[in-house]
């Protein structure tokens, strides 16, 4: 893992241009690891993401008795499946701040059965999990809160599961539904199972990732719109043999935005028109802002020839990548509004408040609402020290404010605690420097 100092200084940069090979997708990596652990047979996983979040999942699986092996210094792993069970029935698991690890693992452990405790960093204990726990306990699992009700840490004990129907709210985090879908075959061993969604389901493209990967591991789900999901009885996960992890589409957003802001072109490799990740739709927002986007099977390129246009759009479908649009809005020709982003409030930090606070340091006028952000770009971007709130996306987003755009110049940016990028992209600033030629240290 890259070692970072307490801060990084980014000087203003005239232009960004080049080609970036993306790290593996966090969402695909952690889902694939758990599915491989629950599958029958051995799975070869190619290009797994190297990050804090995947380390959390790998360590937890090892503690649960799942054997895995890394091939040399590569990011290729062999995972020996447990065929729907874990060898260790007692474990104390540290989940860091990895939502993609704690939510599905909570469901899997509660259904498989055993005596487990799950806990994480302080922020994890502020991130809601109550909707998932309620859905599971309603069918006979035994999950208890050992701190504040509705939040980790958790204690899981053996339960008595009996259900053909489950219900879960969909308006706080799509990871709750993802967790239930991933363990659905373990519940539906004898009888079919239907999972019903109460209210609006947010971040739908992340559910598409889950369903796609489940199918690759041999389990099919019948979907009735976004209201219910049915799993036939008797299905079980089977190793696909070899599975390739796509490049991370959320991480692609920073480099593609750099191409749009400065003119580019900037190309990312590892994700393209055939991606199963919803965050590739980030490029549609860049196109609305006037960028030129070209897609290949395994690459995307962004460039522009003029001032970016302001945008007013619903970003419920791409909440993570939408943060990058808030920075691109600094370079737009008028005010921009990001709507339906209420899920930002319960991420690694309260991202609506954090983004508003740091954008104001750059000279922007910002209005924050319960589920929206309204950004009026400054006449001139002001040099600033950016706090990152132990949130990887804050650090990566605000690096873009050092770039010169067509409408206004970038500024000298100090990023405090840049090591937070280790959550998903440990080498981010080194890679960013390859297209901007920043001198980091």
Q: Give residue 3's pLDDT.
A: 84
Decide if pLDDT at 251 tops 80.
yes
CA 74 vs CA 48, 70, 78, 80: distances in Å: 9, 7, 12, 18
CA 335 vs CA 174, 229, 318, 377, 405: distances in Å: 30, 40, 20, 6, 16
Q: Which residues contact 70 (CB under 8 A, 6 or more apart)?
A: 76, 77
Q: If you average pLDDT over residues 140-161, what whole number do you get? A: 98
Q: If you average pLDDT over residues 160-186, what whole number do you get? A: 96
- Model confidence pLDDT, tens digit, residues 270-297: 999 999 999 999 999 999 999 999 999 9
Q: If you average pLDDT over residues 418-435, what whole number do you get? A: 96
Q: Give residue 366's pLDDT.
A: 98
CA distance 197 to 7: 43
Q: Give residue 440's pLDDT.
A: 72
- Model confidence pLDDT, tens digit, residues 252-264: 999 999 999 999 9
Question: Of 52, 131, 320, 387, which is the active-site residue?
Answer: 320
Q: Give residue 439's pLDDT.
A: 78
Show the tokens assigned to 372.
């929206």
Confidence label for 122 from pLDDT (cuts 50, 70 and 90): very high
From the number of C-beta atoms within 10 Å of its C-beta (0-12, 13-18, 19+), residue 199 rates as exposed
Which residues on neighbouring strands pair with residue 21, listed in sequence order? 269
Q: Which residues contact 122 (CB under 8 A, 6 or more apart)?
A: none
CA distance 241 to 247: 20
Within 10 angstroms of residue 380's Cβ, the number of other Cβ atoms is 10
Q: Which residue has the tokens 């704690």?
A: 102
Confidence label for 438 from pLDDT (cuts 50, 70 and 90): confident
| Cα-to-chain-centroid distance, residue 176 | 14
From the number of C-beta atoms within 10 Å of its C-beta (0-12, 13-18, 19+), residue 105 rates as buried
CA distance 282 to 250: 8
CA 120 vs CA 143, 349, 390: distances in Å: 16, 14, 14
- Model confidence pLDDT, tens digit, residues 331-363: 999 999 999 999 999 999 999 999 999 999 999
| Cα-to-chain-centroid distance, residue 140 | 30
Identify whether 320 is a catalytic site residue. yes
pTM to 2 decimal places: 0.93
Give yes or no on whether 7-23+248-436 and 26-233 have one common fold. yes
Average per-residue pLDDT in the chain?
Answer: 97
Q: CB–CB of 259/268 below 8 Å?
A: no
CATH of domain 7-23+248-436: 3.65.10.10
Q: CB–CB of 197/226 below 8 Å?
A: yes
Q: Give residue 121's pLDDT.
A: 97
Q: Which residue has the tokens 């935005």?
A: 257
Q: Which of 161-170, 403-412, 431-440 has the lowest mean pLDDT?
A: 431-440
Q: Give residue 311's pLDDT.
A: 98
Domains of the chain: which residue ranges? 7-23+248-436, 26-233
Q: Which residue has the tokens 């992340």?
A: 206
CATH class of 26-233: alpha beta
Q: How far apart are the first and last CA of the chain?
A: 17
Q: Give residue 1's pLDDT.
A: 63
Q: Give residue 218's pLDDT.
A: 98
CA 427 vs CA 97, 321, 388, 424: distances in Å: 19, 18, 16, 9
Q: What percent of the chain has pLDDT over 90?
A: 98
Q: Give residue 441's pLDDT.
A: 55
Confidence label for 2 from pLDDT (cuts 50, 70 and 90): confident
- Model confidence pLDDT, tens digit, residues 197-215: 999 999 999 999 999 999 9
Burial 317-329 (b: 16+ CB within 10 A, else e): bbbbbbbbbbbbb
- DSSP element (H, E) containing 349: none
The angle formed by the CA atoms of residues 273, 277 and 279, to the nearest 5 degrees, is 90
Within 10 angstroms of residue 98's Cβ, the number of other Cβ atoms is 26
């Amino acid at each position: 893992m890259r070692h970072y100092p307490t801060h990084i200084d980014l000087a203003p940069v005239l232009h960004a241009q080049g080609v970036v090979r993306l790290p593996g997708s966090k969402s695909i990596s952690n889902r694939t690891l758990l599915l491989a652990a629950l599958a029958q047979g051995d799975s070869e996983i190619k290009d797994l993401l190297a990050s804090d979040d995947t380390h959390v999942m790998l360590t937890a699986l090892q503690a649960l008795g799942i054997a895995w092996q890394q091939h040399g210094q590569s990011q290729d792993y062999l995972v020996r499946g447990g065929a729907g069970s874990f060898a260790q029935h007692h474990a104390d698991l540290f989940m860091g701040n990895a939502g993609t690890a704690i939510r599905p693992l909570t469901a899997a452990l509660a259904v498989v059965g055993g005596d487990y405790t799950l806990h994480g960093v302080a922020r994890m204990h502020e991130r809601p999990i109550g909707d998932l726990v309620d859905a599971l306990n309603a069918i006979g699992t035994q999950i208890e809160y050992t701190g504040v009700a509705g939040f980790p840490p958790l204690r899981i004990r053996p339960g008595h599961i009996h259900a053909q129907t489950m219900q879960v709210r969909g308006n706080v985090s799509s990871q709750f539904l993802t967790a239930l879908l991933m363990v659905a075959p373990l519940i539906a061993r004898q009888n079919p199972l239907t999972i019903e969604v109460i209210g609006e389901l947010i971040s739908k493209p992340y559910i598409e990732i889950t369903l796609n990967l489940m199918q690759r591991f041999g389990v099919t789900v019948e979907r009735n719109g976004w209201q219910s999901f049915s799993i036939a009885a008797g299905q079980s996960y089977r190793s696909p043999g070899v599975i390739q992890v796509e490049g991370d589409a959320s991480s692609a957003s920073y480099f593609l935005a750099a191409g749009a802001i400065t003119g580019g072109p900037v190309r990312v490799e590892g994700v393209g028109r055939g991606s199963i990740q919803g965050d590739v739709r980030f490029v549609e927002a860049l196109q609305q802002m006037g960028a030129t986007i070209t897609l290949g099977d395994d690459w995307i390129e962004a460039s522009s020839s003029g001032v970016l246009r302001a945008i007013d759009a619903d970003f419920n479908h791409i909440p993570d990548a939408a943060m990058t649009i808030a920075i691109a809005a600094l370079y737009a020709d008028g005010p921009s509004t990001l709507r339906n982003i209420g899920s930002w409030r319960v991420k690694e930090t309260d991202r609506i408040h954090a983004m508003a606070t740091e954008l104001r340091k750059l000279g922007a006028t910002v209005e924050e609402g319960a589920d929206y952000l309204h950004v009026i770009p400054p006449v001139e971007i002001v040099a600033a020290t950016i706090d990152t709130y132990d949130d990887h996306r804050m650090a990566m987003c605000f690096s873009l404010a050092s770039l010169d755009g067509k409408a206004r110049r970038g500024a000298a940016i100090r990023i405090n605690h840049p090591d937070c990028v280790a959550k998903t992209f440990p080498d981010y600033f080194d890679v960013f420097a390859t297209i901007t030629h920043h001198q980091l240290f």
